[in-house]
């Protein structure tokens, strides 16, 4: 099998066994990128030179018998929302088109220390706001399974890169489904950890109480390994959880007999495309075959989760994105201005895209005097109800399941002019972020020729259970297809 | 009409922690612009705040010293507004659940006490510093602005008082006492002129019990400016009320050079800060044991020290207030007391001549050229009648200017008083002989003659005669 289609962990062992050198691996991926990028456009900036230099450095270390890290020499794509020192970090926006950070995000630092090689920064919806990667200032990424369709978003570039063999794995970020939904649409594994498990230091903030960094991989084993590298307390992030992190990779045994899965009624019927629903039901049977009993559960607050999210997230975003004003860094309008207020207006109007501006306005409104109680405060109360519904569910069930996305990949341009329809893409994934629990999307087959994902949700810090269920199910499903690209 | 002034104050004190409120940058004053910054205090994308624990415990100490209740669980809020000195265009502050509330500070005005309620003491971060280059030096109409973010992120304690202050003098005394309290606690440099202590005021004047319109006054950069500005406003309000004119509710800027307040075209006119809880920080729940420890560890506070000076050393209220107004001065005084000399005398010399000399030469007490022991020496010399009180003044001046010990100055210059009775008898005898008319006048009961004859004695002894003994001898001889 070609290097570019190997699992990340297999590449890691091959390098350790000196069957492959890091530079060979990196060149293989850079070749692939050169070949398919003109069509896929998964990357905003490819780090060819840096990657080669680093690979050479790692090869030297390995030759000298030095410890180059558990994942020495394995390439990785990093969503352009994560700060990379000395290398542009654009967040898919004109606002940061030429911005080069002075520090690495903690998650980035940790994957570097494990020995990985950054291939480049992956495309995304601007400032992580979107479900199709069509909101990128640099143009959309396309779905490797069908070049007329979207890869999902906002981590569309990361998902497409992994699916198209342009990286063995990637880091993405998830605020309302931005890892899981593109993973589902591109037929790969994507996981959002428990809020606070992975440091947000260096993750350009969209919605601070919802954002998380997570792995996007070809299989569950790789996912467990990558999660293990980035998870764990960070003193630079005050919302980071203390305590020991289990060895997710070592703990993978697929031992799931006797577990109980709740099928969330509110996420698994209304609005789900028939082909997706059919595939979902089939997967439920496979889950039962693996020894997990499935039963329906109703979580009524989920009806309002989407609305609550589309008040809380934009509200926090309106504040988080206030720093982009052209004063200290980033885009400053070249137009002549009379005063600083005009400079703010122009820089922000010209620097931000339409969806970002829409959400900033929405969020500002929801927080404003006279409306705070009716909108933001009210949305937070619904959030509490969502948390309680989940807590109730964990009394009876080990995990909860639903389809990841109500549809397979839709066509480019199909929903981008109708924000409300676009927002509905996140209906299955959003409650997870509101409650801060972990969830994973596993490819469960093709529906009308396009990938669909099966979402597994777990209790807070229930990653091990989640990964094991996914692992067991992965064997049962046996999904091995790749896009024909 | 019966006018009553109502004043409330909002004070910001920069805390002197080693690092900033939410990052590890140094808080040291000075240095090149933007040399004490990092991704966090510059608001770089992806940066996150981490709370400075010392800033919290220092603020708790302040709250305890102001008799406040410590909130068991308080949170940070974001205060959102745009300004070029704001790295994130929001300030991490506190809103409706502050670190502490419901305290008081009693101010001794001499002829009355003023109990001032403390609404709240909370913690927040400071902004950067702007220099606007243009005609007015203000942002409106500026050609460009320079921003220095060294100050951005420095911890600020905010103290808000109830509107219990009833005069500009009380306002000044309150801020002076608060400043002293901060100094005694050792948590702030609290220098109004340097900006580490900032004060804004709200003032209204009620007439015949009817509440007046509240006006905010800003830009008062010294205690004197505070008092002058409020006195001006008070007068302005009274004048308007007398004329039956309406007072506009607004923010006014004190113009120290012009001696007036001007309406400020405020950047925050009826501003909506869209406060919401800071999602990047967890709530603060100070450990009750820690609070107890801080409470027990509070140093003697200014009022306590003042009362002790009055009772233990028998000092007058005025002098006690003067000596305890600055911790370093109070410390200096008590080191002088340790020499064993009379505390009252020591207080007179220190609060009087010494403080005046320090003020004239603009020398802080910490750099006083005279050691506290030296004051003790001086008082001893006078008490032992070796020098007169008048001579002591000169000796102190020389000690201040040269740094020499008073005792050395006296012996070097041979300044000891003449106290030997026989010596003085001889001198007095000579003076009487040389001044028969004046001597006859004194014998006849004309007291003015005493003055003249004493003058002659002093002339003959080059000022060294002990006046008390010499006068006695004169009277005896001429009775």
pLDDT at B270: 61
Beta bridge partners of A79: A122
pLDDT at B135 over 90: no
Q: Are A430 and A305 in contact (CB under 8 A)?
A: yes
A104 touches B at CB < 8 Å: no
Q: Are B106 and B114 in contact (CB under 8 A)?
A: yes
Task: Among B81, B141, B149, B274, pick the best mutation site for testing chain A contact (most A Cβ within 10 A).
Answer: B274
Quote the minimal CA–CA distance from A367 to chain B in Å. 5
For residues B215-226, average pLDDT: 95
Q: Chain A partners of B147 at a C-beta cutoff of 8 Å?
A: 327-328
B309 touches A at CB < 8 Å: no
A101 touches B at CB < 8 Å: yes
B274 touches A at CB < 8 Å: yes
Closest CA to B61 of B187, B195, B219: B187
Q: Are B88 and B43 in contact (CB under 8 A)?
A: yes
Which chain A residue's Cα is nearest to B42? A328
For residues A387-407, average pLDDT: 97
For residues A231-257, average pLDDT: 96
Facing residue for B279 by CB, picked from A96, A209, A340: A209
Q: Are A474 and A223 in contact (CB under 8 A)?
A: no
Tell me how crowded residue A18 is: count the other CB atoms within 10 A of its CB: 10
For residues B96-114, average pLDDT: 95
Q: From CA A213, how far away is CA A326, in angstroms rounded?
A: 27
**Per-residue pLDDT reduced to its tens digit, B87-101:** 999 999 999 999 999
pLDDT level of residue B405 (50, 70, 90 thresholds): very high
Task: Among A316, A320, A378, A433, pick the best mutation site for testing chain B contact (most B Cβ within 10 A).
Answer: A320
Comparing B414 with A468, the larger pLDDT belongs to: A468
pLDDT over 70 percentage in chain A: 100
Q: Phi and psi of B74, rounded to 5°?
A: -115, 160
B276 touches A at CB < 8 Å: yes
Facing residue for A327 by CB, picked from B51, B90, B147: B147
For residues A322-347, average pLDDT: 94
Is A178 among the catalytic positions?
A: yes
A383 touches B at CB < 8 Å: no
* Residues A105, B147: C-beta atoms closer than 8 Å: no
Facing residue for B276 by CB, picked from A202, A239, A315: A315
* Residues A372, B78: C-beta atoms closer than 8 Å: no
B444 touches A at CB < 8 Å: no
For residues A85-112, average pLDDT: 98
Q: From CA A227, how far away is CA A111, in angstroms rounded?
A: 10
* Residues B46, A82: C-beta atoms closer than 8 Å: yes
Facing residue for A208 by CB, picked from B82, B89, B280: B280
pLDDT at B423: 82
Q: Chain B partners of A325 at a C-beta cutoff of 8 Å?
A: 82, 89
Provide ipTM, 2 decimals. Answer: 0.96
Q: Chain A partners of B280 at a C-beta cutoff of 8 Å?
A: 205, 208, 238-239
pLDDT level of residue B268 (50, 70, 90 thresholds): very low
Q: Are B17 and B155 in contact (CB under 8 A)?
A: yes
The CATH number of domain B421-477 is 1.10.10.410: yes
* Residues B46, A328: C-beta atoms closer than 8 Å: no
Beta bridge partners of B3: B207
pLDDT at B443: 87
pLDDT at B266: 53
- What does the H/E/C string look like for chain B? CCEEEEEEEEEEEECCCCECCCCCCECCCCCCCCCCCCCCCCCCCCCCCCCCHHHHHHHHHHHHHCCCEECCCECCEEEECCCCCCCCCEEEECCCCCCEEEEEEEEECCCCEEEEEEEEEEEEECCCEEEEEECCCCCCCEEEEEEECCCCCCEEEEEEECCCECCHHHHHHHHHHHHHHHHHHCCCCCCHHHCCEEEEEEEEEEECCECCCCEEEEEECCHHHHHHHHHHHHHHHHHHHHCCCCCCCCEEEEECCCCEEEECCCCCCCCCCCCEECCCCCCECCCHHHHHHHHHCCCCCHHHHHHHHHHHHCCCHHHHHHHHCCHHHHHHHHHHHCCCCCHHHHHHHHHHHHHHHHHHCCCCHHHCCCCHHHHHHHHHHHHCCCCCHHHHHHHHHHHHHHCCCHHHHHHHCCCCCECCHHHHHHHHHHHHHHCHHHHHHHHCCCCHHHHHHHHHHHHHCCCCECHHHHHHHHHHHCC
Q: Which ranges in chain B are annotated with CATH 1.10.10.410?
A: 421-477
Q: Chain A partners of B270 at a C-beta cutoff of 8 Å?
A: none
B43 touches A at CB < 8 Å: yes
* Residues B48, A236: C-beta atoms closer than 8 Å: yes
Q: Are A459 and A424 in contact (CB under 8 A)?
A: no
Quote the minimal CA–CA distance from B279 to chain A in Å. 6
pLDDT at B215 over 90: yes
Facing residue for B276 by CB, picked from A200, A324, A376: A376
Cα dihedral A224, A226, A227, A231, rounded to 10, equals 140
For residues A376-401, average pLDDT: 97
Residues 122-161 of B with CB under 8 A from A: 139-142, 145, 147, 149
Q: Phi and psi of B252, rounded to 5°?
A: -125, 150
* Residues A340, B84: C-beta atoms closer than 8 Å: yes
pLDDT at B271: 81
**Per-residue pLDDT reduced to its tens digit, B284-300:** 999 999 999 999 999 99
Of A97-106, B315-324, B423-432, the one with minimum mean pLDDT is B423-432
Beta bridge partners of A263: A296, A401
With b for 16 or more beta-carbon neighbours within 10 A and e for fewer, the A60-84 pattern comes to ebbeeeeebbbbbbbbbbbbbbbbb
* N residues, chain A: 485
pLDDT at B267: 47
Q: Phi and psi of B9, rounded to 5°?
A: -120, 150
pLDDT at B384: 86
pLDDT at B463: 77
Tokens 């302005």, residue located: B236
Task: Among B33, B39, B40, B46, pick the best mutation site for testing chain A contact (most A Cβ within 10 A).
Answer: B46
A319 touches B at CB < 8 Å: yes
Of A375-389, B112-126, B198-212, B384-398, the one with minimum mean pLDDT is B384-398
Residues 6-35 of A with CB under 8 A from B: none
Q: From CA A163, how far away is CA A158, in angstroms rounded?
A: 9
Q: Chain B partners of A101 at a C-beta cutoff of 8 Å?
A: 39, 44-46
pLDDT at B29 over 90: no
Q: Chain B partners of A200 at a C-beta cutoff of 8 Å?
A: 46, 48
Is A286 among the catalytic positions?
A: no
pLDDT at A395 over 80: yes
- Kindly give, in sequence order, each residue whose CB lies less than 8 Å from that of residue B119, ignoring residues fewer than 6 positions away: B101, B102, B160, B161, B162
* Residues B46, A339: C-beta atoms closer than 8 Å: no
pLDDT at B417 over 80: no
Cα–chain center distance at B200 = 17
Catalytic residue among A21, A22, A41, A79: A79
pLDDT at B269 over 60: no
Q: From CA A136, how far away is CA A129, in angstroms rounded?
A: 9
**Per-residue pLDDT reduced to its tens digit, B323-337:** 999 999 999 999 999
Q: Which two tokens stand for residue A316?
A: 């926090």
**Per-residue pLDDT reduced to its tens digit, B140-178:** 888 889 999 999 999 999 999 999 999 999 999 999 999
pLDDT at B110 over 90: no
B405 touches A at CB < 8 Å: no
Tell me how crowded residue B327 is: count the other CB atoms within 10 A of its CB: 21
Beta bridge partners of B263: B252
pLDDT level of residue B469 (50, 70, 90 thresholds): confident
**Per-residue pLDDT reduced to its tens digit, A183-192:** 999 999 999 9
Of A43-57, A445-459, B414-428, the one with minimum mean pLDDT is B414-428
Q: Chain B partners of A328 at a C-beta cutoff of 8 Å?
A: 42-43, 87, 147, 149
* Residues B50, A238: C-beta atoms closer than 8 Å: yes
Catalytic residue among A22, A83, A154, A155: A154
Catalytic residue among A21, A93, A155, A178: A178
A250 touches B at CB < 8 Å: no
Q: Phi and psi of A401, rounded to 5°?
A: -135, 155
- A-B contacts at Cβ under 8 angstroms: 102
Which chain B residue's Cα is nearest to A337? B143
Facing residue for B139 by CB, picked from A203, A325, A340: A340
pLDDT level of residue B193 (50, 70, 90 thresholds): confident
Q: What is the mean pLDDT of chain A?
A: 96
pLDDT level of residue B136 (50, 70, 90 thresholds): confident
Q: Are A73 and A21 in contact (CB under 8 A)?
A: yes
B50 touches A at CB < 8 Å: yes
**Per-residue pLDDT reduced to its tens digit, B50-90:** 999 999 999 999 999 999 999 999 999 999 999 999 999 99
Sheet with A189-192, edge to edge strand ranges: A43-46, A117-122, A75-79, A170-174, A212-217, A189-192, A439-447, A450-457, A399-403, A260-264, A293-297
Note the pTM of the prediction, 2 decimals: 0.91
Q: Chain B partners of A95 at a C-beta cutoff of 8 Å?
A: none
pLDDT at A294: 97
B75 touches A at CB < 8 Å: no
Q: Chain A partners of B139 at a C-beta cutoff of 8 Å?
A: 339-340
Q: From CA B303, how far away is CA B301, in angstroms rounded?
A: 6
pLDDT at B195: 87
pLDDT at B236: 96
Is A269 among the catalytic positions?
A: no
Q: Chain B partners of A372 at a C-beta cutoff of 8 Å?
A: 274-276
Facing residue for B48 by CB, picked from A99, A200, A324: A200
Of A398-402, B109-113, B120-124, the one with minimum mean pLDDT is B109-113
Cα–chain center distance at B464 = 40
């Amino acid at each position: 099998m070609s290097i570019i289609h190997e699992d990340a962990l297999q590449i890691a062992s091959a390098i350790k066994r000196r069957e492959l050198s890091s530079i060979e691996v990196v060149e293989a991926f850079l070749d692939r990128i050169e070949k398919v990028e003109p069509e896929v456009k998964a990357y905003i900036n490819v780090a060819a030179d840096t990657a080669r230099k680093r690979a050479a450095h790692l090869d030297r270390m390995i030759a000298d018998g030095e410890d180059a890290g558990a994942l020495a020499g394995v390439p990785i794509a990093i969503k352009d929302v994560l700060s990379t020192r000395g290398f542009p970090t654009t967040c898919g926006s004109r606002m940061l088109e030429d911005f080069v950070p002075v520090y690495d995000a903690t998650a980035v630092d940790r994957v570097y220390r494990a020995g990985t090689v950054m291939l480049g920064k992956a495309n995304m919806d601007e400032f992580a706001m979107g479900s199709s990667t069509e909101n990128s200032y640099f143009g959309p990424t396309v779905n490797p399974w069908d070049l007329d369709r979207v890869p999902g978003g906002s981590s569309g570039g990361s998902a497409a890169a992994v699916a198209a063999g342009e990286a063995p794995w990637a880091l993405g970020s998830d605020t309302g489904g931005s890892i899981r939904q593109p993973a589902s649409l591109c037929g790969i594994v994507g996981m959002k950890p428990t809020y606070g498990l992975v440091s947000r230091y260096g993750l350009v903030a969209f919605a601070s109480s919802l954002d998380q960094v997570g792995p996007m991989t070809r299989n569950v084993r790789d996912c467990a390994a990558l999660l293990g590298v980035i998870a764990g307390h960070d003193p630079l992030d005050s919302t980071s959880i203390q305590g020991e992190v289990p060895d997710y990779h070592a703990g993978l045994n697929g031992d799931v007999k006797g577990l109980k899965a709740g099928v969330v009624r509110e996420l698994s019927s209304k609005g789900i495309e028939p082909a997706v629903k059919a595939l979902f039901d089939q997967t439920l049977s496979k889950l039962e075959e693996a020894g997990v009993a499935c039963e329906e559960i109703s979580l009524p607050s989920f009806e309002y989760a989407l609305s609550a999210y589309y008040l809380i997230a934009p509200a926090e975003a309106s504040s988080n994105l206030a720093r982009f004003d052209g004063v200290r860094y980033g885009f400053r309008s070249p137009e002549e201005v009379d005063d600083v207020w005009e400079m703010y207006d122009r820089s922000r109007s010209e620097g931000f895209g339409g969806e970002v501006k829409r959400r900033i306005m929405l969020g500002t409104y929801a927080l404003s005097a006279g409306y705070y109680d009716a909108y933001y405060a009210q949305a937070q109360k619904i959030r509490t109800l969502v948390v309680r519904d989940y807590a109730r569910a964990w009394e009876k069930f080990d995990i909860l399941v639903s389809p990841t996305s109500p549809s397979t990949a839709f066509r480019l341009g199909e929903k981008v002019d109708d924000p409300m329809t676009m927002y509905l893409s996140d209906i299955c994934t959003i409650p997870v972020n509101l409650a801060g629990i972990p969830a994973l999307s596993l490819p469960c087959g093709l529906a009308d020729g396009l990938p669909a994902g099966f979402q597994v949700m777990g209790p807070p810090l229930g990653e091990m259970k989640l990964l094991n269920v996914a692992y067991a199910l992965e064997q049962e499903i046996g999904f091995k297809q790749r896009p024909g690209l | 009409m019966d006018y009553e002034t109502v004043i409330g104050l909002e004070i910001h004190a920069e805390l002197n922690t080693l690092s900033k409120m939410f990052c590890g940058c140094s808080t040291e004053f000075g240095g090149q612009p933007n040399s004490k910054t990092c991704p966090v205090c510059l608001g770089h994308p992806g940066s996150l705040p981490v709370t400075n624990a010392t800033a919290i415990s220092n603020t708790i100490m302040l709250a305890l010293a102001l008799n406040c209740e410590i909130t068991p669980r308080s949170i940070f809020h974001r205060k959102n507004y745009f300004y070029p000195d704001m790295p994130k265009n929001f300030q991490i502050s506190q809103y409706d659940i502050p670190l502490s509330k419901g305290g008081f500070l009693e101010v001794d005005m001499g002829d009355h006490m003023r109990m001032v309620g403390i609404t709240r003491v909370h913690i927040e971060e400071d902004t950067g510093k702007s220099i606007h280059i243009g005609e007015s030096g203000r942002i409106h109409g500026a050609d460009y602005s320079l921003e220095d973010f060294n100050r951005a992120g420095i911890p600020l304690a905010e103290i808000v008082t109830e509107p219990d202050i009833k005069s500009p003098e009380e306002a000044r005394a309150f801020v002076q006492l608060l400043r002293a309290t901060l100094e005694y606690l050792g948590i702030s440099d609290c220098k109004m002129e340097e900006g580490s202590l900032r004060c804004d005021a709200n003032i209204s004047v009620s007439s015949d019990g009817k509440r007046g319109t509240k006006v905010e006054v800003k830009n008062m950069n010294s205690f004197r400016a505070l008092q002058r500005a409020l006195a001006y406003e008070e007068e302005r309000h009274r004048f308007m009320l007398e004329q039956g004119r309406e007072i506009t509710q607004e923010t006014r800027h004190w113009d120290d050079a012009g001696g007036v307040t001007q309406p400020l075209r405020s950047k925050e006119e009826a501003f909506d800060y869209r406060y919401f809880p800071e999602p990047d920080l967890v709530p603060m729940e100070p450990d009750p044991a820690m609070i107890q420890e801080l409470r027990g560890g509070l140093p003697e506070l200014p009022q306590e020290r003042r009362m002790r000076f009055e009772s233990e050393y028998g000092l007058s209220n005025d002098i006690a207030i003067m000596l305890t107004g600055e911790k370093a001065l109070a410390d200096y005084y008590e080191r002088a007391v340790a020499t064993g000399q009379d505390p009252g005398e020591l207080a007179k010399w220190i609060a009087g001549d010494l403080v005046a000399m320090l003020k004239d030469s603009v020398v802080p007490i910490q750099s006083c050229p005279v050691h506290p022991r030296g004051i003790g020496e001086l008082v001893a010399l006078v008490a032992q009648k070796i020098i007169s009180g008048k001579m002591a003044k000169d000796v102190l001046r020389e000690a201040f200017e040269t740094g020499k010990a008073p005792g050395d100055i006296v012996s070097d210059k041979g300044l000891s008083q003449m106290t030997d009775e026989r010596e003085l008898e001889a001198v007095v005898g000579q003076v009487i002989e040389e001044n028969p008319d004046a001597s006859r006048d004194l014998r006849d009961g004309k007291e003015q003659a005493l003055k003249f004859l004493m003058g002659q004695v002093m002339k003959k002894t080059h000022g060294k005669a002990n006046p008390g003994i010499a006068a006695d001898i004169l009277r005896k001889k001429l009775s």
